[in-house]
């Protein structure tokens, strides 16, 4: 019968006093009952003794340090040129990324948090295409999470009437009245960021909803059709995304190409200089 690796490991650990509890009892029992294991333990014991009998070798010289050893080490070639260039490229890349995405997120967060009313207007005025937009994973979706959750909380409170099964016409009237006010909200939002499209959109929606109650009802129903398909985690995100996408499209398309080119350039720069520094250092060793 052969001794398994596990038993060898147990015997080795037993020899070093590294076993305890049940395992120790098991091994003791095996040693007492199995002559083969007894012999194996004896062999390990001898091997260990031979190793321990190896003479301690004297260091051939003193290894005390001299100041120049430390200085030489600290002055070891670090290829600052490549490293600095890589670091500079990294900073530039981060800056461009902030410019590219930071602004968009900021605007998205502002519009989502500060105007729950606008959310409702957009909810009502969003066509089916908005549902498609949900399925498009966007950076905007990912980053505006906090703002969206906040807006969602407000949205949920405000839109209880929307989710309630029995809907009264008064509620619809109130909704329509609120919609009118969004003309002002939209204007304030548009200032400095959005194009005229949003103003027109908000105006169109407001006018249409306010002027015709039945239209308001239709809008409401269309909204209701969208809502059940939305999971509790996602619904308002769609709206925020939708409006932002539309509002900022002209601006983004103008700046994107330059920013993307810069991002790629700086990204390649970081990789290139880092690789060069690494290669040079490796070569010098």
Partner 1 sequence: MDLKDQIKNSLQGDLDSFNQIVLEYQNLVYNQAYRIIGEPDAAEDAAQEAFISAYQKLHTYRGGSFKSWLLRIVSNACYDEFRRRKRQPVAPLYPENQNGNETESVSWLEDTEEKPEEFVLRNELSEAIQICLDRLELEFRTIVVLVDLQGMDYASASKVIDRPLGTVKSRLARARRNLKDCLQGFRELLPVEFRHLGEV
User: Can you give the binding site for partner 1, defined by CB under 8 A?
Assistant: 3, 5, 8-9, 11-13, 16, 18, 36, 39-40, 43-44, 46-67, 69-70, 73, 285
Nearer to partner 1, 12 or 171 (CB): 12
The CA distances from residue 142 to 93, 105, 150, in Å, are 20, 9, 14
Question: Are 12 and 44 contacting, i.e. CB atoms less than 8 angstroms apart?
Answer: yes
Nearer to partner 1, 69 or 98 (CB): 69
Closest Cα to residue 174, out of 124, 137, 108, 222?
124
- 3-class SS at 223? helix
Least CB distance from residue 66 to partner 1, whole Å? Answer: 8
CB neighbours of 227 closer than 8 A, spacing ≥ 6?
162, 163, 235
Least CB distance from residue 89 to partner 1, whole Å? Answer: 29
Nearer to partner 1, 20 or 129 (CB): 20
Nearer to partner 1, 46 or 256 (CB): 46
Least CB distance from residue 30 to partner 1, whole Å? Answer: 14
Question: Are 135 and 172 contacting, i.e. CB atoms less than 8 angstroms apart?
Answer: no
Least CB distance from residue 271 to partner 1, whole Å? Answer: 24
Nearer to partner 1, 39 or 261 (CB): 39
Dist. CA 21–CA 4, nearest whole Å: 21
Least CB distance from residue 151 to partner 1, whole Å? Answer: 47
Lookup result for tokens 């906090």: 146
Nearer to partner 1, 74 or 231 (CB): 74
Measure CA 191 to chain center: 31
Nearer to partner 1, 36 or 98 (CB): 36
Q: What's the sign of the alpha-carbon dihedral 4, 11, 27, 13?
A: negative
Closest Cα to residue 222, out of 118, 129, 135, 128?
128
Least CB distance from residue 83 to partner 1, whole Å? Answer: 19
Helices (H) and strands (E) in the chain, counts: 15, 0
Q: C-alpha angle 212/217/223, rounded to 5°?
A: 125
Least CB distance from residue 269 to partner 1, whole Å? Answer: 29
């Amino acid at each position: 019968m052969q001794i398994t690796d596990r038993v060898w490991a147990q015997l080795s650990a037993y020899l070093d006093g590294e076993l305890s509890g049940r395992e120790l009892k098991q091994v003791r029992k095996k040693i007492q009952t199995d002559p083969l294991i007894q012999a194996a333990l004896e062999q390990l014991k001898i091997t260990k003794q031979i190793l321990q009998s190896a003479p301690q070798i004297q260091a051939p010289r003193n290894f005390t340090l001299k100041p120049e050893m430390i200085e030489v080490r600290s002055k070891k070639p670090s290829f600052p040129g490549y490293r600095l260039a890589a670091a500079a490229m990294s900073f530039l890349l981060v800056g461009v990324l902030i410019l590219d995405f930071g602004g968009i997120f900021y605007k998205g967060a502002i519009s989502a948090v500060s105007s729950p009313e606008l959310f409702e207007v957009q909810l009502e005025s969003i066509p089916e295409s908005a549902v498609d937009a949900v399925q498009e994973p966007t950076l905007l979706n990912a980053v505006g999470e906090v703002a969206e959750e906040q807006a969602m909380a407000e949205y949920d409170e405000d839109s209880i009437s929307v989710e309630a099964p029995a809907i009264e016409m008064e509620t619809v009237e109130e909704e329509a009245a609120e919609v009118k006010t969004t003309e002002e909200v939209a204007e304030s939002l548009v200032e400095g960021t959005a194009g005229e499209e949003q103003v027109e959109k908000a105006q169109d929606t407001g006018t249409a909803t306010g002027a015709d109650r039945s239209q308001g009802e239709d809008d409401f129903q269309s909204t209701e059709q969208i809502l059940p398909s939305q999971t509790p985690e996602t619904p308002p995100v769609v709206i925020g995304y939708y409006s932002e996408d539309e509002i900022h499209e002209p601006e983004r398309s103008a700046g994107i190409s330059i920013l993307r080119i810069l991002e790629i350039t700086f990204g390649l720069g970081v990789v290139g200089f880092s690789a060069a520094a690494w290669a040079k250092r490796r070569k010098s060793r």
